[in-house]
Amino acid sequence: SQTIHQWPATLVQPVGSPLSLECTVEGTSNPNLYWYRQAAGRGLQLLFYSVGIGQISSEVPQNLSASRPQDRQFILSSKKLLLSDSGFYLCAWSVRGGVGDTEAFFGQGTRLTVV
């Protein structure tokens, strides 16, 4: 069965510090990968999505970047965190290609607080 791992679960970082959140998927190959952010009491905002190694699409211009060094690994980074980067970050994957259900499977999320 497929599983998605996301870590760390919680993180408190000072303003101006770097960030690296990692997500890995097991049990599937060539997945689409996504990073979402959820602000307190709000919906999920798509930040990045990737259809393959090294292929990253950015949805929202911001202080963050993403990389996909391996097929089932997706990393969210920042060189200098801002207070506005605080939120709940979620990694997700879906089956790539073909016609069918596009169910997205989410990780457990990372609660980031920038202080």
Partner 1 sequence: QQQVKQSPQSLIVQKGGISIINCAYENTAFDYFPWYQQFPGKGPALLIAIRPDVSEKKEGRFTISFNKSAKQFSLHIMDSQPGDSATYFCAASRDTGRRALTFGSGTRLQVQP
Contact range with partner 1 by CB under 8 A, out of 14-22, 39-47, 65-73, 78-86: 39-47
The least CB distance from residue 27 to partner 1, in Å, is 17
By CB under 8 A, tell whether 11 contacts partner 1: no
28: helix, strand or coil: coil
Measured from the CB atom, the residue of 77 and 102 that comes closer to partner 1 is 102
CA distance 93 to 70: 14
Q: How many CA atoms lie within 13 A of 61 on its CB side?
A: 0
Measured from the CB atom, the residue of 26 and 59 that comes closer to partner 1 is 59
By CB under 8 A, tell whether 94 contacts partner 1: yes
By CB under 8 A, tell whether 90 contacts partner 1: yes
81: helix, strand or coil: coil
Measured from the CB atom, the residue of 14 and 54 that comes closer to partner 1 is 54
Q: Which of 46, 56, 71, 73 binds partner 1 (CB under 8 A)?
A: 46
The angle subtended at Cα 78 by Cα 63 and Cα 53, nearest 5°, is 105
CA distance 4 to 35: 13
Cβ 106 vs Cβ 92: under 8 Å: yes
The least CB distance from residue 70 to partner 1, in Å, is 20
